[in-house]
């Protein structure tokens, strides 16, 4: 298996007015091609920071990390990944199609290629026919799907998602989780997914990274024994509950009750 | 359309208060005039009456209170008198084909409008360029912003004559340019402040998103900051054009100008013609209303086209 992201003894310390904050300390992790990796942990455990380091949006203060074998900065310049933020963050002055076209315009795709990719990615996230609508005409779940389409439009091999469904209700979330698995299956992308929902992490991932705060570190890495084919009711099986239990144990062990 | 009723209600209250105020404001003039015409007034003589309050005068001379509503040179004209004067100096002159006569408010309004528009364009350009500099350069942020704020604390009435003297020193003929500069001086500030806010309105995650695309600074400006600032820009433009009009009128006041609405106000004051002052005042207010309304329509159309109509 090809290693796509490799972190080695990674440190990141923020200097704040209240002294240094150790967002990441001694983090080691390998992510293989085609993995669906979830990062789970309480707030302040560094899961989002870790994802942002992979995306070259934060600079580590120690250790090494490679993305596609090169530094995160080079990977970013090569447009190796698409990033989905917690808020959909669609431009209100652009239609859904226009929003998906944004990265393509910036990256200099010609008009025909733009139109083709917009159509393709809209279909991928099940939003065909909404190209001409403005963001405010869509529900929150649809907006988030459009923002995933925007991240997919330029066909990066890696998809980094920072709590993309965190602001959505449970029912919409279930639906989007199912769709995301389907999309991952069809595209074969490597996905890094930050969440604080245990069922979401277990349902989606091939690998679950449990993190804990102060300092932000990895306490457990769980290789999921669940099959690739996952209907929603897999969540009632003993295997699923076992993994969920292990995640919960990992979270409890890492949590200092001070 | 929902706002029509409240607006009309407020208007009715203002007109009502105005009518009530006319009687005490004009009672002395009315009594002096009646006394000269031979009427019996208590107390006798204008000097005597100066010691008496207007309320007392009204109470003692109830028969002459109504005279205050039909004076030729009232201290406070009635709304109808102002309306008649406005009509006499605009619509009526147009019907007689004398719209461009020196006595017509259309002529003076046009003079003022020209300077206002020049000042507005100049001020808007300076405001936008200044805002871009402030947003993109820390040095400009720290050096320009304090000066922009200080500039607005200097009374424009004090600056106006200097601007006129200085522009004439460098060989600029006429009052068009100095008036436009004075008006731009007032107009640039709201545009600058609004545009700085608008250009800075995209949040960190929006900027991060463009960073993940490896977008250039120019792309970030054109595709994110500029469109995000459009709603702020229009709000500032509406404030700015009203400020530009005020600036132009102030520029016409202390400078010996003979045309423009500001000049009409000053001349009306010097020649004791309150009706001329009030009608010029209302002409200026109507002009401001029209300009702001036009920008409001432009704002609605633009935002609707951009899909940001609310």
Query: B65 lies in a domain?
Result: yes
| Same structural domain, B57 and B131 | no
How many domains does the structure of chain B reveal?
2
User: Burial of A10 by CB count in 10 Å (0-12 exposed, 13-18 middle, 19+ buried)?
Assistant: buried
Nearest to A4 by CA among A59, A68, A86, A93: A68
CB B167 within 8 A of CB B176: no
| Same structural domain, B217 and B130 | yes
| Same structural domain, B127 and B274 | yes
Query: B14 lies in a domain?
Result: yes
Separation of alpha carbons B30 and B68, rounded Å: 5
Kind plus residue range of the DSSP H or E element containing A7: strand A3-16
Interface touch A79/B307, C-beta < 8 Å: no
| Same structural domain, B9 and B113 | no
Query: B30 lies in a domain?
Result: yes
pLDDT digits (tens, 9 = 90+) for A94-108: 999 999 999 999 999
Could you list the residue range(s) of the whole structural domain that residue B20 is in?
4-76
Separation of alpha carbons A247 and A218, rounded Å: 12
User: Given this model, what pLDDT does residue A231 score?
Assistant: 85
Rounded-to-10 torsion of CA B210, A36, A187, A230: -140
| Same structural domain, B67 and B112 | no
Q: What is the CATH number of the domain that holds B208?
A: 1.10.3720.10
- In total, the C-beta contacts within 8 angstroms joining chain A to chain B are 52
Interface touch B205/A85, C-beta < 8 Å: yes
| Same structural domain, B204 and B262 | yes
DSSP B202: S
- Of B76, B96, B117, which marks where a domain is finished? B76
Kind plus residue range of the DSSP H or E element containing A111: helix A111-124
Separation of alpha carbons A58 and B212, rounded Å: 12
- Of B76, B94, B114, which marks where a domain is finished? B76
Separation of alpha carbons A121 and A100, rounded Å: 8
User: Given this model, what pLDDT does residue B310 score?
Assistant: 58
| Same structural domain, B28 and B170 | no
| Same structural domain, B147 and B34 | no
B306 interfaces chain A, CB cutoff of 8 Å: yes
pLDDT digits (tens, 9 = 90+) for B228-268: 999 999 999 999 999 999 999 888 887 667 788 888 888 88
CB B134 within 8 A of CB B289: no
Q: Count the helix, strand and coil residues of chain A and give each as a percent rounded to the nearest 5.
A: 40, 25, 35
Domains of chain A (ranges; CATH) run: 3-80+156-254 (3.40.50.300), 87-155 (no CATH)
With a cut of 50, say whether residue A110 has pLDDT above it: yes
CB A28 within 8 A of CB A50: no
DSSP A168: S
| Same structural domain, B187 and B238 | yes
Residue with token string 């970013």 = A76
What are the structure tokens assigned to B186, written together?
């007032």
Kind plus residue range of the DSSP H or E element containing B70: none
| Complex ipTM value | 0.87
Instruction: Considering only CA atoms, give the Rg of chain B.
Output: 25
pLDDT digits (tens, 9 = 90+) for B56-95: 888 887 778 888 888 888 888 888 888 888 888 888 777 7
Query: B97 lies in a domain?
Result: no
User: Which of residues B234 and B158 earns the better pLDDT score?
Assistant: B234
CB A31 within 8 A of CB A207: yes
What angle do helix axes A96-106 and A111-124 make, rounded to 10 degrees? 130
pLDDT digits (tens, 9 = 90+) for A160-207: 999 988 888 888 888 888 888 988 988 889 999 999 888 899 999 999
With a cut of 90, say whether residue B124 has pLDDT above it: yes
Residue with token string 């604390």 = B153
Phi/psi class of residue B214: alpha, beta or left (left: φ > 0; alpha: ψ in -120 to 50)?
A: left
The SS3 of residue B56 is: helix
Mean pLDDT of chain B: 87
Separation of alpha carbons B72 and B274, rounded Å: 9
Residue A116 has φ and ψ, to the nearest 5°, of -65, -45
The answer to which of B3-17, B195-209, B253-267 has the lowest mean pLDDT is B253-267
Rounded-to-10 torsion of CA B140, B142, B144, B147: -170
Query: B150 lies in a domain?
Result: yes
Query: B110 lies in a domain?
Result: yes
Which contacts (CB < 8 Å, 24+ apart) does range B266-275 have? B272/B73, B273/B73, B274/B73, B274/B74, B274/B75, B274/B76, B274/B77, B275/B73, B275/B74, B275/B77, B275/B81, B275/B82, B275/B85
User: Given this model, what pLDDT does residue B230 score?
Assistant: 93
Q: Which residues of A touch B309 (CB under 8 A)?
A: none
The stretches of chain B forming alpha helices (DSSP H) are 4-36, 46-50, 54-60, 79-89, 91-95, 105-136, 138-151, 156-169, 176-199, 204-212, 217-220, 226-252, 261-270, 274-305
Query: B217 lies in a domain?
Result: yes
User: Burial of B301 by CB count in 10 Å (0-12 exposed, 13-18 middle, 19+ buried)?
Assistant: exposed
Q: Which residues of A touch B230 (CB under 8 A)?
A: 93
Which of B205, B211, B307 lies closest to A93 in CB terms? B307
| Same structural domain, B205 and B271 | yes
Q: Which residues, at least 6 apart from A193, have a Cβ–Cβ distance to it below 8 Å?
A: A36, A37, A38, A39, A161, A164, A201, A204, A205
* Mean pLDDT to the nearest integer, A143-154: 90
B122 interfaces chain A, CB cutoff of 8 Å: no
Q: Which residues of A touch B219 (CB under 8 A)?
A: 106
Query: B92 lies in a domain?
Result: no
B207 interfaces chain A, CB cutoff of 8 Å: no
Mutate to test the interface with B, among A57, A86, A131 (most CBs of B within 10 A): A57
| Same structural domain, B141 and B214 | yes
User: Given this model, what pLDDT does residue A258 score?
Assistant: 42
By a Cβ cutoff of 8 Å, what residues of chain A touch chain B?
A: 55-57, 76-77, 79, 81-83, 85-87, 89, 91-95, 102-103, 105-107, 134, 136
Q: How far is CA B272 from CA B33, B138, B210, B268, B275, in A?
A: 16, 54, 64, 6, 9
Give the E-state strand segments of A33-126 in sequence order. Answer: 36-40, 62-67, 81-84
User: Given this model, what pLDDT does residue B51 score?
Assistant: 82
**Chain center to CA of B30:** 32
| Same structural domain, B44 and B157 | no
């Amino acid at each position: 298996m090809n290693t796509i992201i490799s972190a080695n003894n990674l440190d990141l310390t923020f200097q704040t007015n209240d002294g240094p904050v150790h967002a990441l300390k001694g983090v080691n992790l390998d992510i293989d091609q085609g993995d669906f990796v979830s990062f789970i942990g309480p707030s302040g455990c560094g899961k989002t920071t870790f994802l942002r380091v992979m995306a070259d949006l934060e600079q580590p203060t120690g250790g090494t990390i490679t993305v596609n074998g090169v530094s995160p900065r080079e990977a970013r310049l090569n447009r190796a990944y698409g990033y989905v933020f917690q808020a959909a963050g669609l431009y209100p002055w652009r239609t859904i199609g226009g929003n998906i076209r944004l990265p393509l315009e910036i990256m200099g795709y010609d008009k025909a290629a733009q139109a083709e990719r917009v159509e393709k990615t809209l279909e991928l996230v099940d939003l065909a026919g909404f190209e001409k609508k403005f963001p405010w005409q869509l529900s929150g779940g649809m907006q988030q799907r459009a923002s995933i389409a925007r991240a997919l439009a330029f066909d990066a091999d890696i998809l980094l998602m920072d709590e993309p469904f965190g602001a959505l209700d449970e029912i919409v979330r279930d639906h989007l989780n199912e769709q995301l698995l389907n999309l991952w299956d069809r595209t074969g992308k490597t996905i890094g997914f930050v969440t604080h929902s245990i069922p979401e992490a277990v349902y989606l991932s091939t690998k679950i990274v449990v993190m804990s705060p102060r300092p932000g570190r990895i306490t457990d890495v769980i290789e999921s024994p669940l099959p690739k084919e996952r209907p929603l009711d897999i969540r009632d099986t003993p295997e699923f509950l076992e993994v969920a239990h292990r995640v919960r144990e990992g979270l409890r062990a890492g949590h200092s009750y001070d | 359309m929902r706002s029509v009723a409240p607006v009309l209600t407020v208007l009715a209250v203002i007109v009502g208060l105005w009518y009530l105020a006319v009687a005490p404001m004009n009672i002395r003039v009315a009594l002096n005039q009646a006394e000269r015409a031979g009427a019996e007034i208590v107390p006798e003589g204008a000097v005597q009456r100066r010691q008496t309050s207007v309320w007392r005068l009204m109470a003692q001379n109830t028969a002459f209170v109504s005279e205050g509503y039909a004076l030729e040179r009232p201290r406070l004209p009635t709304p109808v008198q102002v309306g008649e004067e406005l009509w006499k100096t605009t619509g009526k002159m147009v019907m007689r084909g004398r719209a461009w006569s020196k006595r017509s408010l259309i002529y003076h309004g046009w003079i003022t409008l020209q300077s206002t528009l020049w000042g507005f364009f100049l001020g808007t350009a300076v405001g936008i360029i200044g805002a871009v500099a402030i947003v993109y350069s820390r040095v400009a942020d720290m050096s320009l912003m304090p000066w922009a704020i200080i500039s607005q604390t200097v009374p424009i009435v004090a600056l106006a004559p200097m601007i006129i003297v200085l522009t004439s020193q460098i060989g600029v003929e006429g009052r068009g340019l100095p008036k436009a500069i004075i008006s731009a001086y007032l107009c640039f500030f709201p545009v600058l402040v609004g545009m700085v806010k608008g250009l800075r309105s995209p949040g960190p995650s929006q900027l991060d998103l463009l960073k993940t695309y490896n977008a250039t600074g120019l792309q970030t400006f054109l595709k994110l900051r500029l469109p995000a600032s459009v709603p702020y820009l229009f709000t500032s433009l509406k404030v700015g054009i009203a400020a530009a009009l005020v600036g132009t009128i102030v520029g016409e006041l202390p400078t010996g100008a003979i045309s423009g609405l500001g000049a009409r106000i000053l001349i009306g004051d010097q020649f004791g013609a309150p009706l001329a002052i009030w009608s010029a005042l209302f002409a200026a207010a109507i002009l401001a209303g029209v300009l702001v309304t036009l920008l409001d329509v432009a704002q609605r159309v633009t935002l609707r086209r951009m899909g940001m109509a609310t």
